[in-house]
Amino acid sequence: MDDTRIRKITRISAPKMEAPRKMRVAAYCRVSVDFEVNLNSLNAQVDFYSKFIKANPCWEFAGVYADEGITGTMAERPGLERLLSSCDKGEIDIILTKSISRFARNTVILLEIVRHLREKGISIRFERENIDSMSDSGELLLTLLASFAQEESRSISENTRWAIRRNFEHGIGNHVSPMLGYRFDGERFVIQEAEARTVRLIFDLYLRGMSPDGITSYLNENGHRSVNGRLFKYGCVWDILRQIKYTGNSILQRTFTEDFISHRTKRNKGEFPQYYAEGTHPVIIPQETFDAVQEEIKRRKALGYLASTTKNFSAFTGKIVCAKCGRTFRRSNTGKPGRHKSNYYYWKCGTRFSKGKVGCDAPLIPEKELYRISSELGQEPESLKRILVKENVLSFHLNNGETVEKEVCRAGK
């Protein structure tokens, strides 16, 4: 019997071939506003890549990501971070960029990004060097060329720093940051009179006794705005009060850039010479007014918290300590029934002051009792080291090392 007989045969249809998916293509652009000219401007690059990608029928436009005015050695670039985020979400297959130096001059950062994207199957194509990061020789070439780009960046940075320091030696400043009261027109500082009036007001209010915090509130409540058109902040007022440039003079090289990779700015504490240049620009604050403010700053710093005229301080401030919670006591003139508010002061534990008796039930101490006991001990309040409050017993710690305990009539429980 023939075992090779034909059994039933069913034809298998070939699956329908789907059209290949379009590659999702994005571009990355970066310009340093100090060095790029019009043809290499950010808008020109964005426009070019948008048209270039859309013109390819096999590509799907996935956007153009860009950074303006940021150097290629900096790790934090918002446009690049958004691009990498889109890649991690699986929204991009190919990235186009003009050159290695436009993408990153830091070799370590470049290779980290390339390797991360290769693991996801995402290609970076560098137009000028004609390199595809997914090719076999791509990483080797990138390592070599990125090293050259990083060295170029270092050389540019060193040349720029040398030129700036030479200018410092000749009394020429490096005019970069905007400053309230002035605008730099490319050659010189020009006074902006409306802002200059605000600067003069800040100095005047401080010499009249107002704190920087109080000045900040006053300026904002009365419609004054910072150089960026925003509300004033405490730190901004402090900077203005200590800014010698308002006298028309400059201290050059007060800060320096640590290195060309991080671009981190540090205060110059003797690492490099500083230069005092007189008459570099118009005067907003007379030298004698500026000097008076600096002396007042020193005076208030020496007084500490006693410098404030708006807070309720006395000779006992900071010396009375709660034995229960460890907080210092605060002075209050809320008053006692039958007494006039301004004539009666007592001291309350800081925790009880903010949280009530639930937080701490330490007693209230009448101020007159503190003066009475100090007098009995033959001590001036200013000479006391510390007063520890234990229920109705006060431990007076004297500067000679002696401790004396006294009972006190409490203001309340």
Which domains, from first to last, does the chain contain?
23-150 (3.40.50.1390), 182-303 (3.90.1750.20), 320-407 (no CATH)
Higher pLDDT, 285 or 102: 285
Integer Cα distance of 229 and 242 in angstroms = 21
Tens of pLDDT, residue by residue over 219-229, are 998 899 998 88
Half-sphere exposure of 161 (CA within 13 A, CB side): 15
In this prediction, residues 236-253 reach a mean pLDDT of: 85
CA distance 364 to 332: 10
* Mean pLDDT estimate for the chain: 77
Q: In this structure, is the dihedral angle defined by the CA atoms of residues 240, 241, 243 and 249, taken in order, positive or negative? A: positive
Whether pLDDT at 28 is above 50: yes
Report DSSP state, residue 381: G
Phi, psi of 289, deg, nearest 5:
-70, -45
DSSP conformational letter for 15: P
Cα radius of gyration (the chain): 35
pLDDT at 35: 44
The pLDDT value given to residue 224: 93
The DSSP call for residue 260 is T
Q: What is the mean pLDDT of residues 244-273?
A: 66
SS (H, E, C) 156-182: HHHHHHHHHHHHHHCCCCCCCCCECCE
Contact yes or no for 96/125 (Cβ under 8 A): yes
Over the range 323-362, which residues count as b (16 or more CB within 10 Å of their CB) and which as e? ebeebbbbbbeeebeeeeeeebbbbbbbbbbeeeeebbeb
Residue whose tokens read 């560098």: 126
Which residue carries 């915090």 as its tokens?
Answer: 213
pLDDT above 60 (res 60): yes
- Cβ atoms 290, 203 nearer than 8 A: yes
Helix 78-88 × helix 107-119 angle, to 10°: 20
- With tokens 């186009």, the residue in question is 96
Q: For residue 331, give the amino acid letter.
A: R
What pLDDT digit, counting tens, does each position of 127-150 carry? 888 888 887 666 666 666 556 555
When pLDDT is cut at 50, 70 and 90, the band that residue 263 belongs to is low
Report how many helices (DSSP H) and strands (DSSP E) the chain contains, helices first: 11, 18
pLDDT in tens, 325-374: 888 888 887 544 444 445 578 888 888 887 888 889 898 988 888 888 88
